[in-house]
Structure 1
Amino acid sequence: MRARVVRVALVAAAVALVLLAVPLAVAIRFTFFADENGELERDAMAAVARVGPDFAAGDPVELPGGRGEVRLGIYDAGGLRSGTGPATSGDAVRQALSGSVARKRSAGELVVAVPVSSGERVIGAVRASTSARTVWNRVLWGWAALLGLCLLALGAAVVVARRQASVLSSPLEALARTSLAIAEGDLAARADRSTIAEIDGVAQAHNAMVGRLARLLERERHFTANASHQLRTPLTGLQLGLEAALADPGADPRAALAEAAEQSRHLDHTIDEVLRLATSGAARHAPALLQPVGDLLEAAERRWHGVLARDGRRLALLWEAAAGQLPVPARSTDQILDVLLDNAHRHGGGTVTVRLRDLGAALALDVVDEGTAALDSRAIFERGTGTGSGIGLALARELAEAAGARLTLSGTAPTCFTLLLPLAGDA
């Protein structure tokens, strides 16, 4: 692009210089010859002033010295009387003897002839001449100066064109480098602003596109990680339940199938909730399915009692009967409980207590274990934080925010997470 901009600027400058220089060259030639004719006429007039009225009677005339190569001669009808010039009268002298000033070019000379009058009669003519080569030398010097100025202007045009090409191409080259960086995986790369509004518009559109793509890719990665995290525990429980039923000949198959069906429904709800979280806009804030919180706590107890019992740990649920009847977003609360109980199982210790408190405008759901939290209340909810996958608590907070709830770390010794759930009709 730089070479193209420079080439276009040079062509434009060259055309402009040609259109300007050709008329100037013609004007220089015309002016120099016109000026020389004017000087010759003045020299001839100065000589005319020396001619007295007795010239026709044969009185000699002393002509003034000419400039440089200028030759002066005085003529009458018979030819050259005094001075320098051809012996015979030429066209210019004959025209002057007829009473008018003559300007001619003859045999490589510029000639001006001025009539000499006495009374009302022309008695002679003064002829002034110089070599046309002298004038042409001055014209050529003028043309050389004009050519030098044109070359100087063309050089300045090259400098300005290269600078302007750099100004125009640098933002585009930077935009190309940014695009290559993005193509290589650096989604944080963004195009910088320049001083050119049109290129800034392209850069702004490019940055908006990259930002949208980055959000889509991040949402896709989060969806994959969330789905993997949330499906692992239910699938493991379903597999263990079926294997236990197969290993026990006396086990009731209907009970095993009922438990498997409940686990399957929970898996289906998990997939729906993860998909809902992965979407944006109206779908993300669609009305949630409400269910009494007590039913959700009982279902969570059925899922996690055996898991904790296999490790010699106890699960305790505490809530008032009236509070257990209050409706909350079912699937979001279910998934958040699974994340908190899984976190207590993996990183906590001792008895895990789930406590429900009625705060009037909201419900507080505490999940407490006998371990301690080593991270502060803000860092613990960031993805990639902690000794595990770093997904669960970040996902739980996203689920809570999507449902209009709030999840916080309310205690570190022992570890206590509190989920504030707004009741139906409350913000």
Structure 2
Amino acid sequence: MRQRVVRVALTAALVAVVLLAVPLALVIRSSLYADQRDALERAALSAAVRVNTDYLSGDPAELPAPPDGGHLGLYDTHLRLRAGDGPATGDAPVRRALGATVVRADSAGDLTVTVPVPHAEQVIGVVRASSPADAVRDRVLAAWAALAGACALALSAAVLLARRQARALATPLEDLSRHCRAVTDGDLSARAAPSSISEIDQVAHTHNEMLHSLTELLRHERDFTTNASHQLRTPLTGLQLTLEAGLTQGDARLRPVVEEALATTRRLHDTVEEVLRLSRSRGLPHAVAPDMAVSRLVRDLEGRWHGLLARDGRRLECTTEGVADDARVPGAPLAEILGVLLDNARVHGRGTVRLTVRDLEDALAFDVTDEGGIEQDPAHLFDRGHSDGGQGAGIGLALARDLALSLGGRLSLTGRRPSTFTVLVPVRGGEPQDGG
């Protein structure tokens, strides 16, 4: 911006200088030449007044002193030099002056003015005044040099003023840009400082107000998530303890039901923890340790969702394609993502649901496919609050996408008919940490 302001100011100053200096230079040239010719004409007229007719009979003619650096000469009607300095024979301006007219002309590199000498209504001679044109040209060049120096001085002053003004304009904007970058990097406490420019101060004030509102909004959302998670964990923990106690004292016929309820509460507890983790990470990629083997994750998902789909007369097929045995992924968050996709296929899809895991060397692709189709606009499919066919709250896919991003992965729709969602998750091999 600084260079742009300087260039604009310099261009404007240069245009102004050119529009002023060029006509002024022409005026200076014309004025100096005209002044010199006027001086020659005055000298020639003064000499013509002093000439009398006696010079034709041989009496010497007295001429005044010529102008500085110039010459004065008296010529008779036969173009012969009779007094003063000049060519021995009168030139074209002298010849033209015999017609009783004052002649201004250039001759042989000189500026010349010829004035007729009248007597008894006749021309009895011509006074010729001349000076070298080089002298006037040197004066013109000297004046032009002074004009060029003044123009250069004006341009230099314009550049200095433009640089100062550009610095005054750019500094608060650069400061505002640094604060915006700090906010982008996660520092929500950054605030733009006031400057001496009211328009920029207004932008900075609006930026600070917007940032304050955004900070308060994020704080309220994080507080709500933290409070909700805290309030949910306490009764969930109590419910788990009650169910675990029921396993040791309850009826054997109720044992499978209690175990299923206990597993459900544990999964709900993991869900609460993942939502809390996501709120703390603010949706940004966050390193999560790969703590579960892919094979165990697939088995757990199959055990959980097989019965739910079977109740609706549908099948669940889980396969892995070339996935290494030691490939590990973040179990809890990935289980939440795939759970959302499987539930979405159960509620909105039809036919057989397939969970396929593919090895992509530095990442694993988890494909969830059913035999239905996606009618909703893919551009809004992951927008929070949008749901297919008006069923649900439109939160599941948005939450799954945020969870995938928090893992450094990506969730996308890779097929509309049949509907296919793909989760890409970075992986690494490692020693088992969970006994699975």
Q: Contact 1:40–1:112 (CA<8 Å) still a contact in 2? A: yes
Quick check: 1:27 aligned with 2:27?
yes
Residues of 2 paired with 1:54 and 1:196: CA distance? 86
Aligned residue for 1:216?
217
Moved over 4 A (4+): none
Please list, as runs of the form range in 1=range in 2, the aligned pairs for 1:20-419 lying within 5 A after superposition.
20-78=20-78, 79-248=80-249
In the alignment, residue 133 of structure 2 is paired with which amino acid?
Answer: A
User: TM-score by structure 2 length?
Assistant: 0.55
Aligned match of 1:341: none
- Displacement of 1:53: 4.5
What letter matches 2:81 in structure 1? Answer: L
Q: Is the CA contact (8 Å cut-off) linking 1:47 and 1:64 kept in structure 2?
A: yes
Aligned partner of 2:343 in structure 1 is none
Alpha carbon RMSD of aligned pairs, Å?
3.3
SS at match of 1:181: helix
Amino acid at match of 1:143: W
Deviation of 1:148 (Å): 0.7
Q: Say whether the 8 Å CA contact 2:104–2:112 is kept in structure 1.
A: yes
Secondary structure of the 1:65 match is: coil
Deviation (angstroms), 1:231: 2.1
Q: Is the 8 A contact 2:39 2:67 kept in 1?
A: no
Q: Distance in 1 between matches of 2:188 and 2:160?
A: 38
Could you tell me how far 1:56 is from its partner in structure 2? 4.0
How many residues are matched?
265
**Alpha-carbon distance between aligned partners in 2 of 1:249 and 1:208, rounded to the nearest angstrom:** 60
Rg comparison, structure with higher value:
1
The one-letter code of the counterpart of 2:28 is I
Instruction: Find the counterpart in structure 1 of residue 409 from structure 2.
Output: none
2:50 aligns to what SS in structure 1? Answer: coil
User: What do residues 313-346 of structure 1 show as CA deviations (whole Å, max 9, x unaligned)?
Assistant: xxxxxxxxxxxxxxxxxxxxxxxxxxxxxxxxxx
Shift of 1:19: 2.3
Q: Which amino acid aligns with 1:212?
A: S
**Equivalent residues of 2:192, 2:204 under 8 A apart:** yes
Q: Matches of 1:237 and 1:45 in 2, distance apart?
A: 127
Deviations 1:233-292 (CA, angstroms, capped at 9, x unpaired): 222322333334444459xx9xxx9xx9xxx9xx9xxx9xxxxxx9xxxxxxxxxxxxxx
Q: Distance in 2 between matches of 1:52 and 1:87?
A: 21
Determine the C-alpha separation between the residues in 1 that align with 2:198 and 2:53. 83
2-side partners of 1:249 and 1:26: how far apart? 114
Kept in 2, the 8 Å contact 1:113–1:126? The answer is yes
Q: Aligned residue for 1:6?
A: 6
The answer as to whether partners of 1:45 and 1:114 remain within 8 angstroms in 2 is: yes
Identify the range of structure 1 (40-49 vs 113-122) with the bigger mean alpha-carbon deviation: 113-122
Query: What is the CA–CA distance in structure 2 between the aligned matches of 1:117 and 1:81, rounded to whole Å?
Result: 16
CA–CA distance in 2 between the matches of 1:249 and 1:93? Answer: 143
- 5+ residue gaps in structure 1? 272-277, 279-427
What are the Cα deviations for residues 374-412 of structure 1, in whole angstroms up to 9, with x where unaligned?
xxxxxxxxxxxxxxxxxxxxxxxxxxxxxxxxxxxxxxx
Q: Which deviates more, 174-183 or 119-128?
A: 119-128
- Is residue 55–residue 123 contact of structure 1 (8 Å, CA) maintained in 2? no
Deviation, 1:9, is: 2.2
Look up the equivalent residue of 1:39 and give its one-letter code. Answer: A
Q: CA deviation at 1:151?
A: 0.9
Unaligned regions of 5+ residues in structure 2, if any? 273-278, 280-436
> What is the match of residue 303 of structure 1?
none
Instruction: Report % sequence identity.
Output: 56
1:29–1:139: 8 Å Cα contact kept in structure 2? yes
**CA distance in 1 between partners of 2:229 and 2:57 (Å):** 133
Deviation for aligned residue 1:153:
1.2
Q: CA deviation at 1:144?
A: 0.7
Tell me the amino acid that sits aligned with residue 75 of structure 2: Y
Distance 1:203 1:120 in 2: 90
- Give how far 1:197 is off: 4.5
C-alpha contact 1:76 1:97 (8 A) present in aligned 2: no
Cα distance between partner residues in 1 of 2:231 and 2:247: 25
SS in 2 for 1:8: helix
One-letter amino acid matched to 1:9:
A
Query: The residue matched to 1:64 in structure 2 has which SS?
Result: coil
Query: 1:342-362, CA deviations, whole angstroms, 9 ceiling, x for partnerless residues?
Result: xxxxxxxxxxxxxxxxxxxxx
| Partner Cα distance (2:196, 2:46) in 1 | 67
Offset, 1:201: 4.3
Q: Which amino acid aligns with 1:13?
A: A
> Any conservation in 1 of the 2:40–2:67 contact (CA below 8 Å)?
no
